[in-house]
Chain A
Amino acid sequence: MAEAIVLSAVSKSYGRKRAVQALDLTVPQGSVYGFLGPNGSGKTTTIRMIVNILFPDDGSVQVLGKKAGAETRDYIGYLPEERGLYPRMKVREVLEFFGRLRGVPSDEVKRRVQFWLKRIELESVGEKKVDELSKGMQQKIQFVAAVIADPPVLILDEPSSGLDPGNANLLKEILLELRAAGKTVLFSTHRMEEAERLCDYVCLIHEGVKVLDGKLAEVRAAQGKSAARVDYKGDTQILRAAPGVTRVEDYGNYAELRIAPGTSAPELVRYLSQRLDLTRFELMEPSLTEIFLEKTGFSAPQPARGASAL
Chain B
Amino acid sequence: MSKMMIVSLREYVQRVRSKGFVVSTLLVPALLAGYIALVFYLAKMTGSHPQHLAVVDDSQVTFAQLLASSKGDKLPDGQPRFVFTGVTPVAPAQWPTLRSQLIKDVQQRRYEGFIHIPADVLTSRKVAIHGRNVSDPQSSYNLQTRLQEAIGRARLQASGVAPDQLSAVFAKLKVSTFKITDKGEISDQGQTFILAYVLGGLLYGSLIAYGVTFMRSVIAEKMNRVVEVILSSITAFELMLGKIIGVAAAALTQSAIWAVCLAAVITYSAFASGFAAHFKLPPLGAGVYICFVLFFVLGFFLYGSLYAACGSMVGSEQEGQQMQLPITLLLALSFVVSSTIMPDPSSAHAVLMSEIPFFSPVVMMMRMIVAPPPVWQIALSLVLCAVTTVLLTFITARVFRATILLTGKRPNLPELVRLVRQA
Contacts and interface: CB of A to CB of B under 8 A. Distances in A.
Contacts of A89: 14
A73 B224 contact: no
Contact of A84 (B18, B226, B234, B235): B226
Interface string A80-94: 101111111100000
B228 A101 contact: no
Contacts of A86: 14, 224, 226
A48 interface: yes
A87 B227 CA distance: 13
B185 interface: no
A178 interface: no
Chain B contact residues: helix, strand, loop or mixed: helix
A82 B229 CA distance: 10
A106 B380 CA distance: 43
Given A88-B14, A100-B6, A76 B232 contact: yes
Contact of B229 (A52, A87, A100, A145): A145
A87 B233 CA distance: 19
Contact of A83 (B6, B225, B227, B230): B225
Contacts of B232: 51-53, 73, 76, 78
A144 B6 CA distance: 19
A88 B227 CA distance: 15
A74 B7 CA distance: 16
A98 interface: yes
B420 to A, nearest CB: 13
Interface string A142-161: 00010000000000000000
A247 interface: no
B130 to A, nearest CB: 67
B10 A80 contact: no
Nearest to A57: B422
Nearest to A98: B229
A70 interface: yes
B225 A84 contact: yes
A299 B373 CA distance: 79
A53 B406 CA distance: 12
20 contacts: A48-B405, A51-B232, A52-B232, A53-B232, A70-B235, A73-B233, A76-B232, A78-B228, A80-B228, A83-B225, A84-B225, A86-B226, A88-B18, A97-B10, A98-B233, A101-B6, A101-B233, A102-B233, A103-B3, A145-B229
Interface of A: 15, 48, 51-55, 70, 73-74, 76, 78, 80, 82-89, 97-98, 100-103, 145
Interface of B: 1, 3, 6-7, 10, 14, 18, 224-235, 405, 415, 422
